[in-house]
Amino acid sequence: MLNLATLLRDSAQRSPQKTALIINDREIPYGMLHAYAQRFAGGLKKLGVHPGQHVALLLPNVPHFTIAYFGAHYGANPVVPLNVLLTPDEIAYHLEDSDSVALVVWEGFYEAARAGAARVPTCKHVIVAKADPMDPTAPEGAISMTALIGTSDPVTEVPTTMPDDTAVILYTSGTTGRPKGAELTHFNLFYNAEYAATKLLAIDSSAVTFAVLPLFHSFGQTCIQNASMLGGATMVLMPRFEPTAAFELLSKHKVSLFAGVPTMYFALLNHPEAGKFDLSSLKYCVSGGSAMPVEVMRAFDAKYGVNILEGYGLSGTSPVASFNVLDRQKKPGSIGLPIKGVEFKLVDDQDRAVDKTGEPGEICIKGHNVMKGYYKRPEATAEAFKGGWFHTGDIATRDDDGYYFIVDRKKDMIIRGGFNVYPREVEECLYAHPAIAEAAVIGVPNESHGEEVKAIVAFKPGHTATPEELTAYCKEHLAAYKYPRMFEIRDALPKGPTGKILKRELRST
């Protein structure tokens, strides 16, 4: 058997009084965190949630995420973490597609969650988490997480789930537009967390980690939360990144590990009051989510006396697939070497191996970190695993030392502030606008966010709309990181002989 709940259980048994989580001025020891998780599992059982049924989480970086995450695993319930920025439309889609029977939601997102869950009859329970741990109230028709934990008997035994049982379903969009659920197993996530904790970052009971990356995202979930629980570290939670507040927490709690996306490093590096804060406790810094500008990495390393390690991965690889490692030379601009037990190969458009040094090819991956497939999508799974290798859609080169360098993306995906934005999904939203005849979405370089979302549109005869009106429309239907910040209006969009819109021409103008 193998179950992620053992990450928390084992550390709680070793050091029940050790501080596991810090949020604001509140500290939660491992023993208490473990007890809450066990009682949450008991609460799910009392509600009639059976082993194997899915539980969705719409929670920011608060203790309730960790409690519900490991509590669900104590109940043998796969977890479906959702981006807290989703709209009611998107929440409804994810709940229905994932077959989630319960949704745990932060009080600040309740209205969107209520509207979304109301459209999904199979999601029978909405459990509301509140900032006040003593407040047992909940809106009409919802359940208080505080009350549920307080009135439920604990589940004391870790269930006998198998290594290849689904533990987490992480949603990732694709070129088909609709998000797909990547099924990650207990084996995938356990050993990816173990690698992060023991081989990559040396996370042990003396470590203080900083959870500012969203825990609903695979990077924060594996490399910070799960690795911290495995190592018995103290995890400092920050629900929303803000540079000054981040500096204050890093300094106050003597954080030793900071993991972030490049936009966070950019903000900290260029903060006017950065010199006021003591970051001497920082031992490890890691970056992922999108390519780290080499000049930002070098400047940050020099300014704070650290060594940012950059890696690579996807939701479907748990996520860590490759990394620059401590015991070998770091190569700025490189995603490093495949981690132990993981294989990379590069292939051309005909799926033939690319062996020549410096020649670009699509990264294909095999290993213990690779998902079992896309939930309820056998055709998409078969396409992703052509020839038995997971095809990433990312184009890279390999140097003589075996280090990989991302050079392009096969897909049109935009990475805005570390979040993946898929143009097809945004375009589908735009095409639903009554005035729009044609739409194309591209990424344009942006200093603070890496890339910004730009939409080029043409209107139907006799129709028009202002960029402000289009922005308001998109904000209503798309998560905040997805909607276009830039609009360009044209009479018509360039097309090829088959009528396909030529995005390469749009990018070159």
pTM across the whole model: 0.87
Across the range 2-8, mean pLDDT stands at: 98
Please give the structure tokens belonging to residue 424: 């097809």
Across the range 233-252, mean pLDDT stands at: 96
Least confident piece of the model among 219-223, 342-346, 397-401, 497-501? 497-501
Q: What is the pLDDT of residue 496?
A: 64
Residue with tokens 């869950």: 117
Name residues whose C-beta falls within 8 Å of residue 245's C-beta, 6 or more positions apart in sequence: 238
pLDDT at 499 exceeding the cut of 80: no
Instruction: Give the whole-number percent of the chain exceeding pLDDT 90.
Output: 80
Q: What is the pLDDT of residue 57?
A: 98
Answer with the residue of higher pLDDT: 77 or 447.
Answer: 77
Residues of the chain with CATH 3.40.50.12780: 188-409
pLDDT at 237 exceeding the cut of 90: yes
Residues of the chain with CATH 3.30.300.30: 414-507
Q: What is the pLDDT of residues 159-184, one digit of tens each?
A: 999 999 999 999 985 444 689 999 99
Across the range 59-81, mean pLDDT stands at: 98
Q: Which CATH class is domain 5-18+29-184?
A: alpha beta
Q: What is the pLDDT of residue 38?
A: 98
Across the range 267-285, mean pLDDT stands at: 91
**What is the homologous superfamily of the domain 414-507 according to CATH?**
ANL, C-terminal domain (3.30.300.30)
Across the range 357-372, mean pLDDT stands at: 96
Residues of the chain with CATH 3.40.50.980: 5-18+29-184
Q: What is the pLDDT of residue 173?
A: 59
Across the range 487-504, mean pLDDT stands at: 79
Give me the phi and psi of 302, to 5 degrees please.
-70, -40
Q: How much is the mean pLDDT over the chain? A: 93
Q: Is 3 left (phi over 0), alpha (psi -120 to 50) or beta?
A: beta
Q: What is the pLDDT of residue 175?
A: 44
The answer to whether residues 318 and 293 touch, using CB atoms and an 8 Å cutoff, is no
| DSSP-assigned beta bridge partners for residue 185 | 166
Q: For the domain made up of 188-409, give the CATH fold.
A: Rossmann fold (3.40.50)
Q: What is the pLDDT of residue 407?
A: 81
Residue with tokens 């809450």: 36
The answer to whether residues 212 and 264 touch, using CB atoms and an 8 Å cutoff, is yes
